[in-house]
Structure 1
Amino acid sequence: MRNGFSRRCAALLLALLPLAAAQAGEVQVAVAANFTAPMQAIAAEFEKDTGHKALLAFAATGKFYAQIHNGAPFEVFLAADDATPAKLESEGAALAGSRFTYAIGTLVLWSATPGYVDDQGAVLKKDQFRHLALANPKTAPYGVAALATLAKLGIAEKTLQGRLVLGENITQAHQFVATGNAELGFIALSQVYKDGKLASGSAWIVPADYHAPIRQDALILAKGKDNPAAAALVDYLKGPKATALIRSYGYDL
């Protein structure tokens, strides 16, 4: 009797597997480069919990904006600002009403060398560095925040001419510093922070009032409006597991 019952249960589970597979879907996601590590972690949990697979691409927000208008197949967009998603929504390139703030970013001045950056950012005024890395402000909101911070400190951009190293996005800016091609750089805290502590090097967390808030908005793009996996991902980003992961990388909500 017991063996027969077990066989029937096994047969039922096997019969349900194709149904579960049919219900699971994929969603193409454009993700701002600063959110690489958190989104990779979230995508793994999303697939485990829902069966849906998030196919991730990472780049600068401005670059994604151009790609979306040129027909890129993205269905959900996680930007590094709130202006770009709002613009896409107003242009009819996104599902109206789907936009929300998924994270508030934190800018940090970081060096791979322990003790190099002090906790007030005074190293920027000591004129003892050859290269300062930041993301290109033309395409990356974190680059805009970096320039605003320099202005707040009274450091004119022209005085750093020849020493500024611009990354295509915040990931490349981080790589410049991590590899020693720049002694220090402005990057996203999430790139060097995990579970409440700095992973390596030395850093100054830039006060929030030194630049405009880095409100990072997400939304469902026009190509994803009929994809259940896109709606599921947006809902998942608002849930407790995703928000806990987001906070663990140093973002506010």
Structure 2
Amino acid sequence: MTESSPSFIRNRGQISYTFQDVGAYGEFLNTNRLNAWRRALELTGAKREGKSVDLGCSYGSWADNWQALGLSDVTGLDVNADVIEQARNRLGKAEHGGSGRIAALPSPPDNVACNGMIVHVLDEDEELRIFTDVRGGLKPNGWFFVSVLNSDFYLSPSGFQPHTGPNSCTRTLDFHESLLAKAGFEIAHTVGTFINPWFCEGMRKSADKRLQEDGRFFVAMTVLADALRDADQVKPFSEVLLACRAR
């Protein structure tokens, strides 16, 4: 392994933490993601009883969420071999591998879900390869659901600007949308998840760790997220869920 290796190789085994590891903020993050995924599934009419792939499944931490969403046949995929046994225990099915493994599954999936993974893909050509792999392995008329960070409303060390760190990055929404188009996808629906309450200069102070320990703050932010998700105007969502179909 060298510094020129793809980021998923360089960071393998280092980025398998999940929302379950970060207390009150993790609960807030998971609630808002779950609400967004529920909305996206309703908007698309995706085949919930069909075969789905959880790409970047980590330890299978979303097993309960997939069940709550009505996805009954889920196979996890992750490049970190150390998480597969636990993922298999939680999901029922899990395999070691990345996006290229989708095409080798016994049958094409109806849905591919990529939740909280693209933030760790640091290279543009690598992200395009992942999207292209998904496009090639997905069942015709299947759905690709992928969550991406929106740097315009995500506070990073660079402020509200694109930023690349050791094992994670933020990009503009246009950046991800252009790569999906290159891979042959059309974005049918865009749903905000609002995982980051400190979404503008005026909210910077809400990033204080002490405030994050106060569950009341996150209850209020969840109500705000639901209201903004229903609004028609531009929405300050730090994470966006894109529901895509092959063109």
Q: In terms of Rg, which structure is larger?
A: 1
Q: Which has the higher contact order (CA 8 A, sep 6+)?
A: 1
